[in-house]
Amino acid sequence: MIIDRISYRLGLIACAVILIAIVGCGASEPTVPTPIPNPVDVSLGSILHLAEQNKEAAKQEYEGQFVKMEGLISSIDSDKFEITPIGSDILQMSHATCEFDKTEQASDLLKLREEQRITVHGRIKEVDSFISEILIPNSFACSTA
């Protein structure tokens, strides 16, 4: 009889442990990836032109926007590249600086070439008017031609 009680109690303890393990280790809510917003098609040349004429208007209109723009790669560094408007002359100094994550996009960097036409997606962080510059952190190339 004492053995039956001990067995019964051990059985209850085992059930409780199993129940706690199932509840504690149960399937968690699946993580939903952060959706990438639909980019607004913009003209790099138009943004730079506005920044040269009125920096504050360019800031108000474009900073914070998730955009898609085309340009020609003018320089490439280890963590960023710069693009100028398509059709600009060789003396073009205004540009967009496109920064990216070296760990996730290192192989993409190796595919880039100066004077290559490229389309980028990214959120405009800053518009500056001294030699107009647009800073796009964590941008990524979506296509090259």
Architecture of domain 40-144: Beta Barrel (2.40)
Is the CB of residue 145 less than 8 Å from the CB of residue 125? no
Ordered by start, the domain boundaries in the chain are 40-144
Assigned token pair, 77: 């560094």
Single pTM value for the model: 0.68
**Bridge partners for 95 per DSSP:** 133
Mean pLDDT, consecutive 10-residue segments, the chain of 145 residues? 56 53 54 74 92 92 92 90 88 86 79 91 82 66 53
